[in-house]
């Protein structure tokens, strides 16, 4: 990476790095599932996490770990069960009790699985966060909830357009969630309001400063400095943020709807990245489809 990186890369090139990084996160997890699900042996949270990490590390364009850490390695795999308040109903992935465990195993007929990774492109510092909720059971009430949450995501995506404030999108999201009898109030200590539904992808629309580029050039020799730099440069989609969606932006969309009334309904997370192209058109990066098919969630392909 050179000090002229901000000048060399076009917006289209930066958006393409967002695509590549997020897509590889999904493909790596798909590979893990294809390997593990052919076996009858127990599959633990930690086992999925470690195999996912190893696959991500095969890409030499990435730093060895994800930026959102803790949890360890910037990766989280959590397994919950239908019919109880479970590990996938988390407020935050930071606390140690929410780290992936070697003694919590997947039930391929009933489990709820929350997966998240946060790889960072070495050359640009652009992140490719990927996450989603998967369900292995057949409870029609949970299936309906999953489809409802995905419909909410699609409605929010349709609402987003150039010139709208982050706070407008946040308020619209909360109305959509409330209309469906749900809540979303994830805990985000980095956000001055304490909660949000997403954030900007640093280094895409807002170029790195000369000092920030120096930090990137040091690489993983000072990994904490890079993690903190990425975290602090985010602008949050919260109730107060006046920043407007602009051509050349990449912004995550990640509310986590859940039912406050029914403990059997899981929190649902479909981590999406919205790209605003130079011409003002938009694109939603998901890369969920192959994973939906693997676990039998074809009902989500709509």
pLDDT tens profile 281-300: 999 999 999 999 999 999 99
CATH number (domain holding residue 101): 3.90.230.10
Long-range CB contacts for residues 65-69, cutoff 8 Å, separation at least 24: 65/220, 65/223, 66/117, 66/118, 66/119, 66/120, 67/118, 67/120, 67/127, 67/226, 67/227, 67/230, 67/231, 68/93, 68/116, 68/118, 68/129, 68/227, 68/231, 69/118, 69/227
- Domain housing 266: 5-300
pLDDT tens profile 67-76: 999 999 999 9
- Is 0.75 topped by the overall pTM? yes
What's the number of domains the chain is made of? 1
Cα 104 to Cα 98: distance, rounded to the nearest angstrom: 12
- Segment 247-262 shows an average pLDDT of 94
């Amino acid at each position: 990476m050179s000090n002229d990186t901000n000048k060399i890369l076009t917006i289209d090139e930066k958006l393409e790095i967002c695509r590549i990084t997020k897509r590889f996160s999904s493909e790596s997890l798909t590979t893990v599932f294809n390997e593990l699900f052919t076996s009858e042996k127990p599959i633990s949270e930690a086992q999925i996490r470690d195999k996912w990490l190893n696959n991500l590390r095969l890409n030499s364009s990435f730093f060895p770990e994800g930026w959102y850490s803790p949890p360890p390695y910037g990766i989280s795999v959590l397994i919950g069960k239908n019919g109880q308040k479970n590990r996938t109903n988390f407020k935050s992935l930071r606390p140690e009790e929410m780290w992936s465990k070697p003694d919590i195993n997947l039930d391929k007929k009933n489990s709820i699985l929350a997966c998240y990774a946060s790889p960072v492109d070495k050359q640009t510092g652009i992140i490719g966060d990927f996450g989603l909720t998967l369900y292995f059971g057949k409870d029609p009430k949970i299936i309906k909830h999953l489809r409802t949450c995905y419909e909410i995501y699609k409605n929010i995506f349709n609402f987003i357009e150039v010139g709208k404030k982050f706070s407008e999108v946040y308020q619209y999201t909360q109305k959509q969630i409330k209309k469906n009898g749900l809540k979303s109030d994830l805990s985000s200590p980095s956000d001055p309001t304490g909660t949000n539904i997403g954030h900007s992808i640093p280094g895409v629309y807002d170029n790195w400063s000369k000092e920030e580029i120096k930090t990137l050039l040091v690489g993983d020799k000072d990994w904490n400095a890079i993690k903190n730099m990425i975290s602090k440069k985010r602008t949050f989609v919260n109730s107060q943020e006046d920043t407007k969606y602009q051509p050349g932006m990449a912004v995550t969309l990640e509310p986590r709807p859940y039912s406050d009334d029914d403990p059997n309904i899981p929190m649902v997370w479909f981590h999406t990245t919205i790209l605003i192209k130079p011409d003002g058109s938009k694109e939603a990066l998901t890369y969920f489809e192959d994973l939906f098919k693997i676990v039998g969630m074809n009902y989500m392909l709509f």
